[in-house]
Copies of this chain bind each other. A is one copy, B any other.
Amino acid sequence: MNGTDSSARMRMLTEMVRIRRFEQRCVELYSATKIRGFMHLYIGEEAVATGALTPLTPEDAVVSTYREHGHALARGMPMAALMAEMFGKVTGCSRGRGGSMHLFDASRKFYGGNAIVGGGLPLAVGLALADSMRGRQAVTMCLFGDGAAAEGEFHETMNLAALWQLPVLFCCENNYYAMGTALERSHAETDLALRASSYGVRSWAVDGMDVQAVARATARAADMARTGSGPCFLEFRTYRFRAHSLYDPERYRDRAEVDRWKERDPIESLTRRMRDSGELSDEDLEKLEFGVESEIDRAVAEADSDEEEPVDDLERFVYADGK
């Protein structure tokens, strides 16, 4: 085990903890009515965002969903900008207009936050098309859920990307449910990687609870896509530990099933591995947690004291300024 691997693990552990603690704080803030609207938590799925975003470069683009706090954080969006967004403040990454479901950061090529299931898929093809036409070596990562794969847009988009051999990484976060609808009630063929391969797209199913496996698989796929061999499909098998959104009483699944998956908690697994190999001490962990808590505290404090966008700006940006 070399130093690079070890530091990569440390980075990924930190990222996962950041995401987890951020989400947990969001729940409190939602109860405190600081955050409103729909909010979808990423708890349990941290290994996917953390691992998948790791191999990307700043030139690469990301298209995400409404369950995207983790994606945004892993892409490097400052936590304060994210928190301010959820507080509806003008300092938010979308000036407070988007909220939890619409995080944007053009400077990091983070193209949102899309609340229409499947709605981001065609955008990803377009972003990749632009890269390919301009001869740029970038890839576009498109994240979406198992439920989204039932939408017509999934089909059209997979076919188009494959037909035109575009550098898209289709990253399906298969958490086995679309709201309350289990995978086997959404899909006649539940092996999504197999389905994806029927478009002639190279596809893999990956353990989405293992951040290193996610990172490795994504790096390999990104290399392929980047060097002109067309799109790849990665099915990350994962699980959300919490309800679909804060309104969901979770009638559709057993406590026992959730508990079984929690045994495979991606943060606990990696922590255990790193402790066992001696890479991670109690002290390291404490420091890590402390660092994350302070970052969150700061983000919350900032968001709380930030300004709202002036109401007079309501109609600004319907069209470009100065038109």
Residues of A with Cβ closer than 8 Å to B? 150-156, 158-159, 162-163, 185-189, 194-195, 197-201
Question: Which residues of B are found within 8 Å of A186, using beta-carbon distances?
Answer: 163
Identity of the chain B residue whose Cβ is nearest the Cβ of A196 in the assembled complex: B198
Q: Which of B153, B187, B201 lies in contact with A188, CB distance below 8 A?
A: B201
Inter-chain CA distance A175–B295, complex, in Å, is 61
Q: What distance in Å separates the Cβ of A205 from its nearest Cβ neighbour in chain B?
A: 15
Q: Is B198 a contact of A194 with CB atoms below 8 Å?
A: yes
Other-chain contact of A159, B150, B159, B162, B199 (Cβ < 8 Å): B150
Q: How far is the CB of A254 from chain B (nearest CB, A)?
A: 22
Report A102 CB to chain B, min CB distance, Å. 24
Expressed in whole angstroms, the Cα–Cα distance for A185 and B163 within the complex equals 7
Q: In the assembly, what is the distance between CA of A301 and CA of B90, in Å?
A: 74
A163 close to B151 (CB less than 8 A)? no
4 closest A-B pairs by beta carbon, nearest first, are A152-B152, A155-B155, A162-B188, A198-B198
Residues of B within 8 A of A185 (CB): 163
Q: Is chain A's interface secondary structure helix, strand, loop, or mixed overall?
A: helix
- Which chain B residues lie closer than 8 Å to A194 at the CB level? 198
Once bound together, how far apart are the Cα atoms of A200 and B201, in whole Å? 18
- Choose from B152, B163, B189 the contact partner of A200 (Cβ within 8 Å): B189
In Å, the complex CA distance between A198 and B197 comes to 9
Offer 13 A-B interface pairs, CB within 8 angstroms, sorted by A. A150-B159, A151-B152, A151-B156, A152-B153, A154-B155, A155-B155, A159-B188, A162-B188, A162-B189, A163-B185, A163-B186, A188-B199, A188-B200
CA A194 to CA B188, docked complex, whole Å: 16
The closest CB in chain B to the CB of A154 belongs to B155
Measured CB to CB, the closest approach of chain B to A69, in angstroms, equals 29
Q: Which of B156, B163, B195 contacts A198 (CB 8 A)?
A: B195
When chains A and B are docked, how far (Å) is the Cα of A323 from the Cα of B186? 39
Instruction: Report the nearest B residue to A157, measured CB to CB.
Output: B152
Q: Which residues of B contact A189 (CB under 8 A)?
A: 159, 162, 198-200
The distance from the CB of A169 to the nearest CB of chain B, in whole angstroms, is: 16
